[in-house]
Structure 1
Amino acid sequence: MSVEEANTASGGSLTDRTARQIEQMIAERSLKPGDRLPTVQDLSRRLGVSLSVVREAIASLRAGGVLHTRRGAGIFVAEPSAIDNRGLFFGDLSQISSVVEILELRLAVEVEAAGLAAERHSMAQESRIYEAYEAIEAVMELGGTGEAEDSLFHIAIAEATNNRRFVDFLTQLGNAMIPRNKLRPLPASHQEHIAYLAQLQDEHRVILDAISGKDPEAARNAMRAHLSLSRDRYHSMIKAKTALR
């Protein structure tokens, strides 16, 4: 493992710094809303980091709504309203109850999205879901937690509905979609957290297999189970915090 990879795996600091540099370019108007993002190779040379770090930074910014993809055209800087409103509607992520509310909202939307994805997906869309799943796996093997990759897994499923409103909804959620970097469900020991991440990935696999198998009801059930379990984990945090008062 290179020093760069080690830095990324130990806390994502290099990826985070690269993402912040890209955001700074936007803030300084070097990149304006609607502009196409330079190529990964160009950003790698300009920022002095590897291609993989640039890709991870872009994935993080896409998940946060700072960048968006236009199919067949590339990656573009989002309009200011999409960026400025990212955290306003969905509340303070430090509040566990807010996370539970978001998960309840996601249950209302993503269960049906999974079913539609199973019915409507193309082979290319199925491949993108699988690639997002594999990306989570790769990051976890390096010791990361894969928030950005997890977001892209769910966005890839939304894209496979062939209804752009599902994609718009998840993009608007931004960083609120996968809050585990800020809030870790109990238990919090390192070994138990690794087991928790592995369980999440097992749940992702069940969703992926149901969509791949073109089984809408199984896909809905798998997504419902996945998000319900996540909601219940955060409910346990609320109970634990209440008990400590």
Structure 2
Amino acid sequence: MESAVQQSGSRLRLVLASFGLAVGGMVLGIVLLLGLFLAVLVPLGIQPSPTDGLVISLVLFQGIAFPGIAILYFRYKGRSLRQFVPVAIPGLRQVGIIIAAWIGALVLVLVGANVVVNLLGTEPAANAASQTAAENPEFIPFLIPLVFLLNAPGEELLFRGVIQGLLRERFSAAGAILLATASFAPIHITALIGSIEAALVTITILSIPSIVFGAVYEITDNILVPTLVHGLYNATLFVGLYFATTGG
């Protein structure tokens, strides 16, 4: 039986490993991005447009780097990622949870954003992907499928399926959700435009839907549920952005 000191040490190592996975996913994505530019695009004289760059980032980060770092970690540990992360077609109950969580996340973010901005007195930082979409609204209908195919699956696999799942082995459900959120929200700082204060406001706001995603994963034990909630949440934001920028 582990002593209190051993338990504390195991928990600390697990937290460090979890945050290391988040950072490792970002680092691997950056390495892939630099490799693509230096080995392919620059020699061929190709200059990607902002929308091309957004698609490339989604493919390399959420499509390859995030799942890739999870696979590498589980191979290193000699464990099965497929068995560790439960996935199933959502039943009727889970569909209801998906719809409720999707709407709930939007409402909570709307209320929470107003509270955070009023308390801190700073507007949120702009998101590079949202800014690119706003400047190219005709691209948004093509971006929405990528949210469901790359963005949500890649992030939920790493942050909920792997990181939250690992933390759950040593922490309570609430503790695992909050720690996974503490790794999920700050990672987005690389995509934010603005001051440090504005970035902190955005990270705080991003923590709200992350907690929702973590809660539904804990409730359903099915990675498809937070993935679909995440996809619907992001897609709704992009649809709202489309109508706001086009006026139609």
TM-score bin, normalised by smaller chain: 0.3 to 0.5
Structure with the largest fraction of helix? 2
Q: TM-score, normalised by structure 1?
A: 0.35
Of structures 1 and 2, the one scoring higher in RCO (CA 8 A, sep 6+) is 2
Q: TM-score, normalised by structure 2?
A: 0.34
